[in-house]
Structure 1
Amino acid sequence: MIMKYFFALAILCCLSFTAIAQSQNPNYNKALADSLGADDYGMKQYVLAILKTGSNTTTDKDKLNQYFRGHMENIGKLVKEGKLVVAGPLGKNDKNYRGIFILNAKTVEEARKMVETDPAVQAKVFDVELYPWYGSAALPVYLDTHSIISKENP
């Protein structure tokens, strides 16, 4: 009988702790959360793309400039379409990683179609590794702020 009492008490303590740990956010904005595709934790599924040095080793500067110009134009297009929420180069490293994208995609297959529109990827200047990534659903709205703090466009 005493064991049943302690077991019941332990369950009540755990339930009480869980209720405290999962309290409601008083600042919750349902309309904004829904518009961003947020789950109950304010998170959503994305795909992380790691761009790395590809097999194309051309040294033709005109060709490389063409690929990189197309790469930057493609980044701009994907941002305007709401498909690319983070992009940036990486510093020198021993893995030949060149940059990252966080793509507003639910699946790796969907993200693969997005990165295949990049001329530098098509030309094999970059190879791409894709991984599912779970992050804040608010990532896309930081771009609005970035557009008013950047003095120059690439």
Structure 2
Amino acid sequence: MKDLIFICLLLGITFSTTAQQTNPRYDPALADSLGADDYGMKSYVLAILETGNTAPDDQTAVREAFSGHMANIRRLVEAGKLLIAGPLGPNDDRYRGIFIFDVATVEEARELVSSDPAIQEGYLDVKLYPWYGSAALPMYLDAADKIWKENP
């Protein structure tokens, strides 16, 4: 009988420590406005930019393509489609940078990257993946816009 009571107490403790907890600061209106699920998360698309197959022989053409690349990034941020963009440091792969798109499908992200001159010219290539992250990610953009001193 003591063993049965001990097992029941042990199971009760186990279930109470693994039970889901409700966030006391949960803001349903904010969660809804950001498209958050019950975990505060949502789907995005991650883009990995790689060195493309076009050899950069004409430096004027390369500069023009990458100037267009930067303009395209700004345009997509202003449109609310691109949340994260940045280069990667030196690595053993051909990886050059990442984008995180606030879109629901890889196909929609593929259409957005097709407007990038560096990708159009083959200086960059892109791989796209569904990504699940915090629905609050778009909220950082307001602060990010206030901390840069020089625009590349």
TM-score where L is the length of structure 2: 0.89
TM superposition shift of 1:111: 1.1
Amino acid at match of 1:105: V
Q: 2-side partners of 1:110 and 1:8: how far apart?
A: 52
SS at match of 2:57: coil
Amino acid at match of 1:152: E
Aligned residue in 2 for 1:115: 113
TM superposition shift of 1:12: 5.3
Aligned residue in 2 for 1:82: 80
**Which of 139, 144, 151 is residue 146 of structure 1 equivalent to?**
144
**Alpha-carbon distance change, 16 to 149 in structure 1, aligned in 2, over 3 angstroms:** same
SS at match of 2:53: coil
Aligned residue in 2 for 1:17: 17
Structure 1, unaligned runs of 5 or more: none
Q: 2-side partners of 1:106 and 1:50: how far apart?
A: 17
TM superposition shift of 1:108: 1.2
State the percentage of identical aligned residues.
59
Where do 1:36-115 residues align within 5 Å?
A: 36-115=34-113
**Alpha-carbon distance change, 8 to 111 in structure 1, aligned in 2, over 3 angstroms:** farther
**Alpha-carbon distance change, 53 to 17 in structure 1, aligned in 2, over 3 angstroms:** same
Aligned residue in 2 for 1:30: 28
SS at match of 2:39: coil
Q: 1-side partners of 2:17 and 2:90: how far apart?
A: 46
Aligned residue in 1 for 2:132: 134
SS at match of 2:144: helix
Amino acid at match of 1:121: I
Structure 2, unaligned runs of 5 or more: none
SS at match of 1:148: coil
- Per-residue Cα deviation, 1:5-43 (whole angstroms, up to 9, x for no partner): 999777755543343xx1111111111111111111111
Moved more, 9-18 or 99-108: 9-18
TM superposition shift of 1:77: 0.7
- Per-residue Cα deviation, 1:109-134 (whole angstroms, up to 9, x for no partner): 11111111111111111000111111
